[in-house]
Structure 1
Amino acid sequence: MNPNLFQCQNRIISSPSRFSGRGGIFFDRDGVIIEEANYLSQVDDLKILGGVIPGLRKLKKLGMPFYLITNQAGIAHGFFTEKQLRIIQSFLVAKLLEAKIKFRAAFYCPHHPQAEMANYRADCFGRKPKPGLLYQAARFDKLNLKHSYIIGDKLTDLEAGKQAGTKTILVLTGYGAEESKKISSNLKPDFIATNINDAADWIIIQEKKRPFNFNRNPTGQNQNHKYGFRLFC
């Protein structure tokens, strides 16, 4: 089950504010869905964090699509290749499918402005804290970003979400506990969660408050791509 791989546009993308209706839930990968492994390059080192599967199962009932939004500068620095990234993503897809969890798509940025690999050296609009990947996801599925959420363990995740107009959640897994000490009044998350399971409870409460819930799928099933992941940047 190899995910489709699409290279980054590497250009400024305007905000897709014209889309109305359903939102989505965006997740950072390392330190949020899986354990932070410092440039993960081998499937043997991939471990799904505690609280992730129960939390995703709760969120699945909302019918909102899931997206992975991740910087992968390890490619730019030569620690692993895009082929290795594809293998790791396929392995993660399989692990999540065992729990009947599917993601609609995965969006990643392999670039870095000080990259060791010249062909990946770029100040890319897709690299968080810039919101390019969120905009790409919104265009991909005509999402309303104002009805969406981003969950991350770094302030760069929050900043990307703020720029895109989503609600922001900082989880204390990964780098989250350390990053929480750097929170300022200019970059304050809408919620700080212990883990994905805790974040799920908060999102469910927010969705229940909506007078008319655009996000809820009447079937109660998550409308995700049948192949689990598609990769974009």
Structure 2
Amino acid sequence: MSRPGVLLDRDGTIIVDHGYVGSVDRVEFIPGSIEAIAALNAAGIPVAVVTNQAGVARGYYDIDDVHQVHKHMIAELARKDAHVDVWLFCPYHPDGKIAAFARTSADRKPAPGMALAAAEALDLDLTSSWVVGDAECDIGLAAAVGAQPLYVGPPDTTRDGVRSFPDLAHAADYILTCRTVPTQPRDTPMRFPTHRFDSADAYGGAYVTELDRAVRSVDRAQLGRAAEILDNAYRDDRAVFACGNGGSASIANHLQCDHVKGVRNGTDLTTRVYSLSTNIETLSAIANDHGYERVFEYQLQSHARPGDVLVAISSSGGSPNIVRALEWASAKGMPTIALTGFDGGAARRLATASIHVNAHNYGIIEDAHQACMHLLAQYVRQSRMAADVVASQTF
């Protein structure tokens, strides 16, 4: 089982921030910080250091200097029976002067890379962990991974919704007092972004990291169930209908393309797949005469038969026309697949197979839905090929 841990900033939290501390002679421990780490160790709470070290990118010192500073800190901690379980640092900065390090990085706080690496190394549940630091990027890191931020610094500094302490010693006392933090329910979507980015490349790195997390949140058992529904439909010559609004409509249309044309390449499949989102004349006529909430249900009443399949795509999962279509399909004996995001809405509960993306950003959710649509098409396609033929095909 994953466990809570503490992610500590370095400069300004454990040692005095003299500005780009890149040599042993500039290391000055903040009073009480070593004892605070020792207390966390004694309580069995894993401790990781996650520190931005842009001084490497700016040419003030090199990677080996960072390691020497950490080696010195490790020795000083050990003198008082304290230790850090994992040391992580990010040497990159987009404005760096050293070419090898002059770039954005998903590891640079407030991006979540180092926290995710610490969680993997120490088996941490980040939503029940703490991030302790003296800068906005530390608070941003906590928000990015669902951890509880604790600010350390001048007592007159206040931040809405963030507990503040004068130093690490007081923050550690608080952690040891509560020992557990209120955790987000596992199904609570994580927000992105949580702060403003000053460059597109930095935003891009954080976006890719969040997209990776969102895709990993999908229940693979539900993907397997959806694949089985589609495979059975194609085997039995059943029709598959897809629908969605806005960006989800484009995914429904793309699904028709990939599940009709794509799956035929190198297989014996001739599927019958239709997007209910593609005919503007039909959509507008139904919406005008019967209401937009019936645009998909009305088409199903004309075209669908028991045993056919409905794939409903909705980021919110609550669009009335999506919910009505799912309800009608279920009542008529049609297996249903829902691709949802946010909290999943009614669509998540109604579907036979629920492919839910735990995210709170339309772009992230739609990108993840598109990936799921593609992988289902490709899975069905390759499953109809001889094992020795798959590697020779282009997917």
TM category (shorter chain) comes to: 0.7 to 0.9
Structure 2: distance between partners of 1:113 and 1:208: 37
Matched, 1:30 2:21: no
Higher helix share: 2
Cα deviation for residue 148 of structure 1 reads 0.8
Unaligned runs of 5+ in 2: 183-395
Q: Tell me what 1:197 maps to.
A: 169
Change (3 A) 1:59 1:68: same
Residues 181-210 of structure 1: per-residue CA shift (max 9 Å, x gap): 5x3x4xx32x10111111011111221788
Structure 1: distance between partners of 2:176 and 2:101: 39
Contact 2:35 2:80 in 1 (8 A): no
Residues 103-158 of structure 1: per-residue CA shift (max 9 Å, x gap): 11111100001111111111100000111100111112221111211100001101
Letter in 1 for 2:53: Q
Change (3 A) 1:121 1:209: closer
Q: Tell me what 1:40 maps to.
A: 21
Q: Tell me what 2:62 maps to.
A: 81
Structure 1: distance between partners of 2:125 and 2:8: 16
Q: Tell me what 1:97 maps to.
A: 78
Letter in 1 for 2:177: I
Task: Note the aligned Cα RMSD (angstroms).
Answer: 1.8
Letter in 1 for 2:168: I
Letter in 1 for 2:61: F
Q: Tell me what 1:127 maps to.
A: 108
User: Quick check: which has more Rg, 1 or 2?
Assistant: 2
Q: Tell me what 1:213 maps to.
A: none
Q: Tell me what 1:139 maps to.
A: 120
Letter in 2 for 1:204: L
Q: Detail structure 1 runs of 4+ shifted over 3 Å in the superposition.
A: none
Aligned residue pair count? 182
Aligned match for 1:206, one of 155, 174, 178? 178
Matched, 1:55 2:36: yes
Moved more, 49-58 or 30-39: 49-58
Identical aligned residues as a percent: 27
- For normalisation by structure 2, the TM-score amounts to 0.44
- For normalisation by structure 1, the TM-score amounts to 0.74
Unaligned runs of 5+ in 1: 1-19, 211-233
Letter in 2 for 1:136: A
Structure 2: distance between partners of 1:78 and 1:209: 40
Matched, 1:115 2:96: yes
Letter in 2 for 1:154: A
Structure 1: distance between partners of 2:167 and 2:181: 22
Structure 1: distance between partners of 2:35 and 2:67: 25
Structure 1: distance between partners of 2:75 and 2:59: 26
Change (3 A) 1:209 1:133: closer
Equivalent residue of 1:106, what SS? strand
